């Protein structure tokens, strides 16, 4: 039996010669929600990009295993096929590419030939209904003219269609108003409750604890200056909301 989980061990990474990650240890289990919190510039997005294989992020040490498989040796597309998903903080717009065609191509790239067109369309309509997304989305161009909330909800639809083993959501709450934030939060909760998503492990990267009001994490990690300085339960997110990050920064400096 493989060692189930997305396991990050002593991961070190640099960008343009500057070390950003300074030995990260973190494990996301199937069916669990982990929240990674921290102030701006702490290295949260660097962790997401280094795990998923962005070429500008140079891993200089450590390992990342997905269900026992070393994925650092794989190119980004094969990491995705292995079951890894990344939602971007700022999804790109691609005029001329329809949402339905993009989602079909993405599904085919990861699972070639698993669904004929009619069954894929049925799956897509089912997921859109589950997430409360208007079917007119299918005919729109990818993120072209979308509001911030629509872009994030479309990423939740991508997540539902691809049904990965592990999903990294990089500040998916960034720039959202309260209504859009609620929509995204309830979408994540709906995905987690679905048959396909109940075994998906989530790593939700966020600066503020707002989204955690809608998606209750099993574990909360706090990253400061390229290191995880605290791990706890949901109450840790409440503490950050009350006190901010300065207190934890002071505590981690004392320990160091």
97 in any annotated domain: no
Count of the separate structural domains present in the chain: 1
Q: Which range of residues forms the domain containing residue 232?
A: 6-92+166-255
230 in any annotated domain: yes
Cα 160 → chain centroid: 13
CATH of the domain at 36: 3.40.50.300
209 in any annotated domain: yes
77 in any annotated domain: yes
pTM of the model: 0.91
Handedness of CA 205, 211, 215, 220 (dihedral sign): positive
85 in any annotated domain: yes
Among all chains, which residue has been given the structure tokens 């209504």?
179
Q: Print pLDDT tens along the chain (256 aa).
A: 457 899 999 999 999 999 999 999 999 999 999 999 999 899 999 999 999 999 999 999 999 999 999 999 999 999 999 999 998 877 888 999 999 999 999 999 888 888 888 999 999 999 998 888 888 888 999 999 988 888 888 888 999 999 899 999 988 777 777 887 888 888 888 888 877 778 899 999 988 788 888 888 999 999 999 999 999 999 999 899 888 888 888 887 755 4
Task: Output the pLDDT for position 13.
Answer: 97
Among all chains, which residue has been given the structure tokens 């960034």?
174
153 in any annotated domain: no
227 in any annotated domain: yes
Question: Which residues, at least 6 apart from 225, have a Cβ–Cβ distance to it below 8 Å?
Answer: 22, 42, 43
Backbone angles phi, psi at 124, to 5 degrees: -60, -45
132 in any annotated domain: no
Task: Output the pLDDT for position 1.
Answer: 40
Question: Which residues, at least 6 apart from 37, have a Cβ–Cβ distance to it below 8 Å?
Answer: 44, 205, 206, 207, 209, 220, 221, 222, 223, 237, 240
């Amino acid at each position: 039996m493989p060692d189930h989980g997305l396991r990050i061990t002593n991961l070190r990474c640099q960008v343009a010669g500057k070390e950003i990650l300074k030995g990260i240890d973190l494990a996301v289990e199937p069916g669990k929600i982990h929240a990674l919190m921290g102030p701006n510039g702490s290295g949260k997005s660097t962790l997401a990009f280094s795990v998923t294989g962005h070429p500008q992020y140079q891993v200089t040490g450590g390992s990342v295993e997905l269900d026992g498989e070393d994925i650092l040796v794989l190119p980004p597309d094969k990491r995705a096929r292995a079951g890894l998903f990344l939602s971007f903080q700022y999804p790109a717009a691609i005029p001329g590419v329809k949402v339905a065609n993009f989602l079909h191509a993405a599904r085919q790239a990861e699972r070639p030939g698993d669904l004929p067109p009619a069954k894929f369309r049925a799956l897509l309509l089912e997921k859109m209904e589950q997430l409360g997304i208007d079917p007119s989305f299918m005919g729109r161009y990818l993120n072209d003219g979308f509001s911030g909330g629509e872009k994030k909800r479309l990423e939740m639809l991508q997540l539902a269609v691809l049904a990965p083993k592990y999903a990294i959501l990089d500040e998916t709450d960034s720039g959202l108003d309260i209504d859009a934030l609620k929509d995204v939060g309830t979408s994540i909760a709906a995905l987690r409750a679905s048959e396909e998503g109940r075994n998906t492990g989530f790593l939700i990267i966020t600066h503020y604890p707002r989204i955690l009001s809608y998606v209750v994490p099993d574990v909360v990690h706090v990253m400061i200056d390229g290191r995880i300085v605290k791990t706890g339960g949901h109450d840790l997110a409440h503490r950050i909301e009350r006190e901010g990050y300065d207190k934890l920064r002071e505590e981690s400096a004392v320990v160091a």
